Amino acid sequence: MDGEFKPFTFRSPRIVFKRNAWKDLPRICGEFGKQGMLVTGTTVMAKSGVYPALMGDLKAQGMVVREIVREGREPTVREVDSIASAARAECVDWILGIGGGSALDLAKAAAGLARNEGSAGVYQEGKDLAKEGIPFVAVPTTAGTGSEITNNAVLINEQRRVKLSIRGDKMLARAAVLDPVLTRSMNPQVTSHTGLDALTQAIEAYVSKAANPLSDLLAEKAIEAIWGSLYGAFTNGNDLNAREQMLYGSLLSALAFSNAKLGAVHGFAHPIGALHDIPHGLVCGALLPHVMRFNLAGNIHEVTRKYGWIGRKMIGKGARESLSDADLASTAINSIIDLLESMRLPTRLAGLGLKPADIPAIVEQTKGSSLQNNPRETSKDSLEKLLRDSL
Ligand SMILES: [Fe+2]
């Protein structure tokens, strides 16, 4: 690395990563008390054979667990408020979230809010959480969102028709329990969407302006693990080695981006998701090659070098020494398009049903830290052009 060593601080919950880690949950939750609340999705209930066994184990340890089972839609402010007030009223000692990003964000936000005053909507305005939340234990069943690691929860504010985060280290999980066995419940579609989210997060963190030496290391390993296993997990969901590598890659990606922040793909993805109700990972995948092309055209040495590194990893032994970083960077972009096509996913926004007339509203709502940390500067005009080029 050129110049002075970049200082950093690093944030992470306690992490348990192993096959059948779900068996440790009664012990881990038991550290916080006997009275618990479980927030999960209907898919996990139906498809994960371990669910009845887990509930049996928790009860056998003398725990009283209130179960909240919901459809997999994204959480709303109203839902968070209602779960937080139930947790407060019942003096719950811990909240266990098991599921994809939506279930985990809901459980995390409710746990964070339960010992604080006011509605989640107020905290979406940027108000800080005054007190630590109820201990939150996060168990992801997808390999992509990274919600088990991050200190924020994305919530739909129905009144304002926007999607905004509430954020704060007081919401960090007390334990993130990662069990590849549980991720086998994902169908190929969810596998591809969440996997692309994880890949995008790793690539955006890698070239982010806020990247640091440790986040770079994690992002590189994340990209390698995800690239090496996503297609395998997509084509054979029972391949536990591929599932394990995907979950590991997703974890590394989340550790990288929760410290190094994200870029323009995520800047766009939230408004597109809120305005058009399209799965987050699908939007990320369709935008990623176009945002990379935009960043590469900025001729920023570090970006070209890092995209070049990605390209070399993607083509592996086929990469000739003589290839320049710029050539390898283009290879990375083309390889991502090939992967999207091989999973029959759109490589352009038009494939998601977006039209030129949608662009102004998306650009209007594209702001925040993801945009600030994108390696190439953006403006209203360049964002509009980038979206037009992505259609
Ligand atoms: Fe994401």
Q: Which domains does the chain have, with CATH numbers?
A: 14-182 (3.40.50.1970), 186-390 (1.20.1090.10)
Predicted confidence band at 28 (pLDDT cuts at 50, 70, 90)? very high
- Which phi and psi angles does 165 have, rounded to 5°? -90, 150
Q: Are 213 and 8 in contact (CB under 8 A)?
A: yes
Q: If you average pLDDT over residues 233-259, what whole number do you get? A: 97
35 versus 73: which is more confidently predicted?
Answer: 35
Number of helical (H) and strand (E) elements in the chain, helices listed first: 16, 8
Looking at residue 174, what is its pLDDT?
97
Ligand 1 center to 198 CA (angstroms): 7
Categorise residue 382: left if φ over 0, alpha if ψ from -120 to 50, beta otherwise: alpha
Enter the pTM of the model: 0.94
Q: Beta strands 14-17 and 162-167: pairing type?
A: unpaired
Ligand 1 center to 159 CA (angstroms): 24
Looking at residue 2, what is its pLDDT?
58
Ligand 1 center to 100 CA (angstroms): 12
- Greatest extent of the chain over all pairs of C-alpha atoms, in Å: 66
Share above pLDDT 70 across residues of the chain, in percent, rounded to a whole number:
98
Predicted confidence band at 379 (pLDDT cuts at 50, 70, 90)? very high
Ligand 1 center to 380 CA (angstroms): 22
C-alpha span between 271 and 164 (Å, rounded): 10
Confidence check: pLDDT of 182 > 80? yes
Q: Beta strands 152-157 and 162-167: pairing type?
A: antiparallel
- Provide the residue type at 324 as one letter: S
Ligand 1 center to 147 CA (angstroms): 9
Ligand 1 center to 3 CA (angstroms): 31
- Provide the residue type at 126 as one letter: G
- Provide the residue type at 24 as one letter: D
C-alpha span between 252 and 92 (Å, rounded): 31
Share above pLDDT 90 across residues of the chain, in percent, rounded to a whole number:
83
Q: Around Cβ 302, how many Cβ atoms within 10 Å?
A: 14
Ligand 1 center to 67 CA (angstroms): 27
Looking at residue 103, what is its pLDDT?
95
What is the tens place of the pLDDT at every residue in 150-179? 999 999 988 887 788 899 999 999 999 999
Ligand 1 center to 265 CA (angstroms): 9
What is the tens place of the pLDDT at every residue in 43-72? 776 776 788 999 999 999 999 999 999 987
Ligand 1 center to 52 CA (angstroms): 31
Ligand 1 center to 79 CA (angstroms): 22
Ligand 1 center to 92 CA (angstroms): 30
Confidence check: pLDDT of 326 > 60? yes
CB-based burial, 154-179: b 16+ in 10 Å, e otherwise: bbbbeeeeebbbbbbebbbbbbbbbb
Ligand 1 center to 90 CA (angstroms): 33
- Tell me the C-alpha to C-alpha distance, in Å, between residue 196 and each of 64, 142, 171: 37, 12, 25
- Which residue reads 């390696």 in tokens? 375
C-alpha span between 88 and 113 (Å, rounded): 9
Ligand 1 center to 31 CA (angstroms): 31
Ligand 1 center to 195 CA (angstroms): 10
Ligand 1 center to 288 CA (angstroms): 11
Ligand 1 center to 101 CA (angstroms): 9
C-alpha span between 375 and 389 (Å, rounded): 19
Ligand 1 center to 266 CA (angstroms): 6
